[in-house]
Amino acid sequence: MNSASSDSIFVPVLTIDGPSGSGKGTISRLVAQRLGWHYLDSGALYRAVGVAAGWADLDLADPAALVRCAFDTRIGFREQAGELRVLVNEVDATDELRTETAGAAASAIAAIPEVRAALKDRQRAFRQLPGLVADGRDMGTVIFPDAPFKVFLTASAEERAERRYKQLKDKGVSVTLDGLLREILARDARDAQRAVAPLRPAIDAVRIDTTGLGIDAVVEQVLALLPAH
């Protein structure tokens, strides 16, 4: 069922989709804070299944095993010191989840239709009052098609690679700009070209190109789409 958590009360949803590094997570968290709404990081679910599959030594070319893994993996979110921590089978896997390796694994398993189906209800369960900000690739097209507010964030691949480079450098991770650009382009292509729920803007989404725009400016543009709050 794709509806609000109650038959009679409509729970508003703001979907924010876009490619890797477009700022979905950052903007969604800030907008959710400003609105006092819940937040769904749908990519974390795919990353968590990918990481759990790695821990269990599953073959990423074995769809049946990955689908079982998607159903069986326990995924929890916890706010700690202002940061969202992700628990995979009760283990804090936040740092492992944020690696480019985990992103690439998530992108690969996300192309399996049964894995996507296995995660559908878990994502829709986040739709709770007073509202939800949901970020991902198919939030506006597949998971919450009736969302009244939809945004599609973009930025040039070069700027997205630079943002990621800075983010990882700040964390002390050794990477090259060229390598990150290649990974971003490969992930864009896989996410946009898959047969099921490909990365694309919903027909009723407002597109915001964030190239050259700071975080605060993007947050304000998104908030301006909602009624006065």
Residue ranges of the annotated binding site for ATP are 18-26
Q: Pick one of ligand ATP, ligand LCLUPRNS, none as the site partner of residue 163 (Cβ within 5 to 8 A by kind).
A: ligand ATP
141 binds ligand LCLUPRNS, rule: CB under 6 A: no
Q: Which is nearer to ligand LCLUPRNS, 37 or 46 (CB)?
A: 46
- Take residue 46 and report the two structure tokens written for it: 């795919």
Question: CA-CA distance, 163 to 126, in Å (whole number)?
Answer: 28
Assess contact for 210 and 155: CB atoms under 8 A. yes
Contact between residue 149 and residue 14 where contact means Cβ atoms under 8 Å apart: yes
Tell me how far, at minimum, the Cβ of 36 lies from ligand ATP, in Å.
20
CB-CB contact of 75 with 44 (8 Å): yes
If you write DSSP's letter for every residue of 36-103 in order, what string do you get? T-EEEEHHHHHHHHHHHHHHTT--TT-HHHHHHHHHH--EEEEEETTEEEEEETTEE-HHHHTSHHHH
Is residue 28 close enough to count as binding ligand LCLUPRNS by CB under 6 A? no
With both helix axes pointing from N to C terminus, report the angle between 63-72 and 113-124 in degrees, rounded to the nearest 10: 10
How far from the centroid of its chain's Cα atoms is residue 155's Cα? 16
**110 lies in the binding site for ligand LCLUPRNS (CB under 6 A):** yes
Report the partner that residue 191 touches, choosing among ligand ATP, ligand LCLUPRNS, none (CB closer than 5 to 8 A by kind): ligand LCLUPRNS
Q: Choosing among ligand LCLUPRNS, ligand ATP, none, which partner's interface includes residue 12 (Cβ < 5 to 8 Å by kind)?
A: none
Residues that bind ligand ATP (CB under 6 A): 18, 20-26, 43, 103, 163-164, 167, 210, 213-215, 218
Residues that bind ligand LCLUPRNS (CB under 6 A): 20, 42-43, 46-47, 103, 106-107, 110, 136-138, 187, 191
